[in-house]
Amino acid sequence: MGSLEGKVALVTGAARGQGRSHAIRLAQEGASIVAVDICDDIEAVSYQLSTPEDLKETVRLVEEQDQQIDAHIADIRDYEQLSAAIEAGTAKLGPLDVVVANAGIWAVSVEQPQERARRELVWKDTIDVNLTGVWHTLEATVPAMVERGAGGAIVITSSTAGLKGSTANDLSLTAYTAAKHALVGLMRGYAKDLAPHMIRVNTVHPTGVTTQMNMNDVVSEYLEKRPSLMDVMANPMPVPSVDPLDISNAVLYLVADSGRYVTGVTLSVDAGFNIA
């Protein structure tokens, strides 16, 4: 029997990358999965985002674990759309025990945007997805978890950039860092408020992860033009990036009984990035 047998978990950004990995790992431990992803591009993001086919592949991989999954295309920036997807998923699979607010973007571009309208777009899309979208996820899930009275666990994906300044005179990094820092404050507020209900809230802080957000032609060209960033972004442990499964195992620890009294924690999986 897995450590999440009979539980239901929501995973946002589930079509690929860390989200897909989290969905599979939680399913391996017995959880049914409500999977949500935008499956479309976002204007400020230069690399391709997930597709409906990606989400279908996540469904296939979770079903390979002999677990149920209900997948929905929804934009976390749109509360009504997101809430409807969650309501449909829980109607099919049951009430949520676990929420993994994972969806996020990096609005990186090869050249630093100079036009006022483009800079506004980079800032707005980053904050809307990485911060407001997470708040929407909590707004759409927490009331029902509290009303149910069965406790639960929430994990928010932040970043090493949520604990350490990562700007390098680049608006995409500044906006990303601001949002990921703000998630820590969001987490701590909810952790305190929800502790009496036995609902635990924590953040995970990955270093670079081997996913499509980091491994694409736009990011490769971006780094080629900024070789000094390679030193800034290097990990003390001699690994260029970590695997999505490394983050999934941390998420599993936090949402299973292994972390039953862990709340309000910023858990780094960063190969030592934040040591100094």
* Residue 169 pLDDT grade (very low, low, confident, very high; cuts 50, 70, 90): confident
Q: pLDDT digit string (tens) for 71-80?
A: 999 999 999 9
Segment 229-241 shows an average pLDDT of 84
Three-class SS of residue 72? Answer: strand
Catalytic residue chosen out of the listed positions 176, 190, 222, 261: 176
Report whether 5 contacts 30 (CB < 8 A): yes
As a whole number of angstroms, the distance between CA 221 and CA 118 comes to 20
Superfamily of domain 8-266: NAD(P)-binding Rossmann-like Domain (3.40.50.720)
Per-residue pLDDT, 42: 96
- DSSP conformational letter for 259: G
* Residue 125 pLDDT grade (very low, low, confident, very high; cuts 50, 70, 90): very high
pLDDT at 112 over 90: no
* Residue 221 pLDDT grade (very low, low, confident, very high; cuts 50, 70, 90): confident
As a whole number of angstroms, the distance between CA 75 and CA 264 comes to 27
Q: Which two tokens stand for residue 267?
A: 């858990």
Per-residue pLDDT, 131: 98
Report whether 186 contacts 156 (CB < 8 A): yes
* Residue 276 pLDDT grade (very low, low, confident, very high; cuts 50, 70, 90): low
Mean pLDDT of the chain: 94
Q: pLDDT digit string (tens) for 149-167?
A: 999 999 999 999 999 886 7
176 is catalytic: yes
Per-residue pLDDT, 113: 82
Q: Which residue has the higher pLDDT, 114 or 26?
A: 26
Segment 81-103 shows an average pLDDT of 98
Query: At 41, phi and psi to the nearest 5?
Result: -85, 160
Q: pLDDT digit string (tens) for 32-64?
A: 999 999 999 999 999 999 999 999 999 999 999
- DSSP conformational letter for 67: -
Q: pLDDT digit string (tens) for 174-215?
A: 999 999 999 999 999 999 999 999 999 999 999 999 898 887
Segment 97-124 shows an average pLDDT of 93
